[in-house]
Amino acid sequence: MIVCHCNVATDKDIRRCASKGEASFGDVTLHCRAGTSCGGCIPAIQALLQRMKRERPGAGNLPAKRSE
């Protein structure tokens, strides 16, 4: 599915970037340019990265990080 229409980045492109260790939003935008034009896809990219973190093996064993 296309997540970033401006730069034609799919969820697979973003997952591929994140699985190579580039799991931060900044790294993903740098490598696949998603989220760097109009910004409308930024919430979808962030949600996808969060979902990927939860899906990682052992992720359920870590305490949730609290923002203050």
DSSP letter for each residue of 23-53: -SHHHHHHHH-TTSSS-TTHHHHHHHHHHHH
Confidence of residue 27 (pLDDT cuts 50, 70, 90): confident
- 54: which residues sit within 8 A by CB, 6+ positions away? 60
The reported pLDDT for the residue numbered 62 is 47
Task: Indicate the helix (H) or strand (E) that contains 55.
Answer: helix 42-55
pTM: 0.75
Supply the pLDDT for residue 45. 94
Q: Check if the beta carbon of residue 2 is closer than 8 Å to that of residue 32.
A: no
Half-sphere exposure of 54 (CA within 13 A, CB side): 7
Is the predicted pLDDT of residue 5 greater than 80, yes or no?
yes
Q: Which domains does the chain have, with CATH numbers?
A: 2-55 (1.10.10.1100)
